[in-house]
């Protein structure tokens, strides 16, 4: 993406940021509350208006509606997961199939997701609302994967989860990464994200102030800069 800008009623929330997510790469986006992280993901998804140049595999997707963006290969696991609590786990997963470019291989992909997240198989016929927070996050990731994205984006997947559940979610992301899907993950947990991602961008007040590699997770001076922006 190049010079991405988001404004709400004229007030800039994302101020012309540029970065790339390479094929199969895991990229982190961190920063304090209100930095513009969610707005960036929403803009990439076509859910909020933006200016700039958003490209996916060379094609211009700037300003396309979300349903088109999903079919082009971008999927978002939103903050708060947006699970349908009264629907079964299996039917929640099936909703992910709606975003596919083609239906071929749907059954195999559903099976692969159940393989990746055994707990979803175990509770496939249970109402999704009865799952724990960590299990619901796995469901949200599984549902997004069923759209067969080239890039999977996640907005604060660790939010509100117990430490064990966070570990489970990031193990799942590791598996997603291992199968070659690119990941763009927005997180508040800076140190953890820096260590996990191939590259992490720090966003402050709508601007990218730092780009960090995993080694920075052990560098206190850089971490301080990442947290406080100075």
Summarize as ranges the residues that interact with ligand ATP (CB under 6 A): 8, 13, 31, 33-39
Smallest distance, ligand ATP to C-beta of residue 29, A: 9
d(CA 209, CA 3): 14
**Rg of the chain's alpha carbons, rounded to an integer?**
17
**Class of residue 179 by CB neighbours under 10 A (exposed 0-12, middle 13-18, buried 19+):** exposed
Closest to ligand ATP by CB, 22 or 160: 160
Find the shortest distance in angstroms from Cβ 170 to ligand ATP.
18
Q: Please say whether the beta carbons of 40 and 6 come within 8 A.
A: yes
Residue 145 C-beta: closest distance to ligand ATP, Å: 23
- Rounded to 10 deg, the angle between the 163-178 and 133-145 helix axes is 20
To ligand ATP, the closest distance from the beta carbon of 160 in angstroms equals 13
- Of 36 and 142, which has the nearer Cβ to ligand ATP? 36
Nearest distance from C-beta of residue 97 to ligand ATP, angstroms: 28
What is the three-class DSSP state of 211?
strand
With tokens 């997947």, the residue in question is: 157
- Between 113 and 194, CB nearer to ligand ATP: 194
Closer to ligand ATP by CB, 36 or 46: give it: 36
- CA 227/CA 230 separation, integer angstroms: 8
- Give 4 or 114: the residue with its C-beta nearer to ligand ATP: 4
């Amino acid at each position: 993406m190049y010079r991405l800008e988001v404004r709400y009623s004229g007030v800039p929330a994302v101020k012309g940021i540029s970065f790339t997510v390479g094929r199969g790469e895991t990229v982190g986006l961190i920063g304090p509350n209100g930095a513009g992280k969610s707005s960036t993901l929403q803009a990439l998804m076509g859910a909020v208006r933006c200016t700039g140049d958003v490209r996916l595999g060379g094609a211009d997707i700037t300003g396309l509606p979300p349903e088109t963006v999903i079919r082009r290969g971008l999927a978002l696991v939103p903050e708060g997961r947006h699970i349908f609590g009264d629907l079964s786990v299996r039917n929640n997963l099936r909703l992910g199939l709606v975003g596919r470019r083609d239906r071929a291989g749907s059954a195999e992909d559903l099976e692969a997701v159940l393989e990746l997240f055994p707990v979803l198989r175990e509770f496939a016929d249970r109402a999704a609302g009865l799952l724990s927070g960590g299990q619901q996050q796995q469901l949200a990731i599984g549902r997004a994967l069923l759209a067969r994205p080239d890039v999977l984006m996640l907005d604060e997947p660790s939010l509100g989860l117990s430490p064990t559940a966070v570990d489970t979610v990031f193990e799942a992301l590791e598996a997603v990464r291992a199968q070659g899907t690119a990941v763009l993950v927005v997180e508040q947990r800076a140190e953890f994200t820096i260590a996990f991602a191939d590259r992490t961008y720090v966003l402050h007040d709508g601007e990218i102030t730092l780009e960090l590699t995993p080694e920075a997770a052990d560098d206190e001076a850089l971490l301080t800069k990442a947290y406080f922006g100075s």
